[in-house]
Amino acid sequence: MAHRSIEVRKLTPAIGAEIFGVDLGGDISNSQFEAIHDALLQHVVIFFRDQKMTPEQHKGFGRRFGKLHIHPASPSVVEGHPEILVIKADANSKRVAGEVWHSDVSCDAEPPMGSILYMHQPPENGGGDTMFANMYLAYETLSEPMKRFLDGLTAVHDGEHVYRGRYGVNDAKKAFPRSEHPVVRTHPETDRKALFVNRGFTTRIKELNRNESDALLTMLYDHAETPEYQCRFKWQAGSVAFWDNRAAMHHAMWDYFPQSRLAHRVTICGDKPFHRA
């Protein structure tokens, strides 16, 4: 599909598209920006190949979409660029970022609008793919009685168990975000409803007792992670993924140990999730 000088190729019926004909490190015209923005809203996650960006260019592209987010836990190791989150794993890693299905920093009072991951070094063995799932479909394919039950419920999202002790710094005096969000959120731009719970951060449903909450969340996680709602992206050096954090979850495969993988992520600030009946 040709669209304002940018080519958009749908990746799967459920989610994802590859974008061709734009240099993210160069001057992006207003029409190109609008086309990229429209593709993100339509396909939930979009991908670019063969890109070259400096940290400033990476941040500059992100700023076209909004203020940049500073991660609540990770120290910056890109000098002078606290907005860049380094995603790195090697033979010394005990765990990796994103190896559980999640929505980025959903524990924040205002979770990020989206994230832009730029791959510097993929694993030599071809591993390290990232999977993305469409949370519009996760909600829309629930039964009508279940939709009515979920509408109006509140989930607790907690960063404590995710971030504490993870980044090799002294965080003993640090408090990590904990927030309550609607189980079903209304997207502020598309007005569509999306399921907004995830294995990474969600700890319970506020209105239910513990057993009920655990059972419901397990069902919703299993449902949201249905393969038919997903796409899987194979990284190359210079590849970029840009996902709408308000309508997508993702899962980073760690199938390449002990090989190395290095990427930089810029994240865009979002707003407080809401539910519109």
- Residues serving a catalytic function are 102, 104, 250, 265
Rg of the chain (C-alpha set): 18
Classified as helix, coil or strand, 258 is: coil
Q: Are 16 and 43 in contact (CB under 8 A)?
A: yes
Contact present, 117 and 265 (Cβ < 8 Å)? yes
Helix and strand totals (H; E) in the chain: 6, 16
Q: 131 to each of 103, 114, 228, 233, how far by Cα in Å?
A: 12, 15, 12, 6
| Single-letter amino acid code for the residue at 158 | D
With beta carbons less than 8 A apart as the criterion, state whether 178 and 159 touch: yes
